Every structure is written in structure tokens, then in C-alpha cells.
Amino acid sequence: MPDFVIRPQAQGAGLPALTRPQPKSLWGRWLMAAVVLVAVLGAAAFAGRNEIRGRLPPEWRSVLSLDAFRAPFASPSTAGRLGPANQARLEIDLDSSKIELVDGRYVVQGEIVNTGRVPGSTSRLKLIFRKDSDVLGERTYPLVEGPIGPGARLNFRQALDDPPPGTTEIVPAVE
């Protein structure tokens, strides 16, 4: 018969292997804090978008508008109202415009600004000649300038015919 030898077990020999716990990574917490911060800042920007839009230069104002995102999902009646906002709006900056007498002729010079959301071009310069609140006459000159991008400015200069007698004010506009 074979001899069986029973030996005493070593201390802890029957227990599973003990390992050290994995150190917890802080990436999850940092990521969650970043997501919460972005959400809070986004909500604050959305709530105060009108005040923010008023302080931005014209070329940045369209960033806070949701019209471009609403148009594809809008009903046909609503889409018609959103359309005109997506056009060029060309105007003469009256603060930077002036009318001078150069070599015996009047010259209008200034800047055309596009306050719309798409590029646009001008075709005519329209001048209204006034004496106080009375309109003495209108003249139209060809003025092809552009395309002028949204928020962009373009200088122009146009020599004029003699204004009507008694003119005290000349009001320029572009079409």
C-alpha cells in the first residue's frame, strides 16, 4: 500500500492571491467637470445672446443667430420670413462719407458697408438734393462695386454734376 503523507498547509495557502487595488484615475472627474462647465457657459451665452450680439462687431453678429439652423426645418410660411434676413444689406456709412469741391466739381466719397449675411454688389448711387426739408431733385449715377462680404466695407468716389441751385444737403444711398 502506498504511504500517504499529510503535510500541514502553509499559512494563507488556500486563499486567493491578494493584489493591490488599481489607483483611480482622475480623468473621468476632469472630463465631467469640463462637460458641466461647457454646458453652463453655453446656457449663459444663450440667455444673454442679445446683449452679447449688441457688443459684437457686425461681421460677428451672425454667429449668435439661429436663423440659418431654423430655415431647413421651418414651415413654408416661416421659411419665407427667414429668407430676407439672409440677403445683403448695402448702405453708405454716413459718418465716414463726405462731399467736397475738387477742381470745381463736387465729389462724393465714403464707404459702403454690408450689414447683411451674404455678399452683395451695388449697381447705382442715388443722390437726393435737399434744401432744409424740401427735396430739390434726385440723380442716379452708375456705381458697380462688389461683391462686398458680410460686415465688410468698400471705399467709393463719385464726381457729381452740378447740384440744383439752393441745395444745402446731399443725401447719398446705394441700390
Map out the domains of the chain as residue ranges: 27-86, 90-174
Q: What is the pLDDT of residue 78?
A: 43
Contact 172, 126 (CB under 8 A): yes
Fold that domain 90-174 belongs to in CATH:
Immunoglobulin-like (2.60.40)
For residue 46, pLDDT over 60 is answered with yes
For residue 36, pLDDT over 90 is answered with yes
pTM: 0.49
For residue 96, pLDDT over 90 is answered with no
- My answer on whether omega of the bond before 147 falls inside 30° of 0, hence cis, is yes
Q: Could you read off the pLDDT of 139-165 as tens digits, one per residue?
A: 888 888 878 888 888 888 888 877 888
Query: What CA–CA distance (Å, rounded) separates 99 from 110?
Result: 9
Q: What is the pLDDT of residue 32?
A: 92
Q: What is the pLDDT of residue 15?
A: 57
Query: What CA–CA distance (Å, rounded) separates 71 from 64?
Result: 15
DSSP 166: T
DSSP 87: S
**Single-letter residue type at 63:** V
Q: What is the pLDDT of residue 6?
A: 67
Query: What CA–CA distance (Å, rounded) separates 111 from 96?
Result: 6
Contact 142, 124 (CB under 8 A): yes
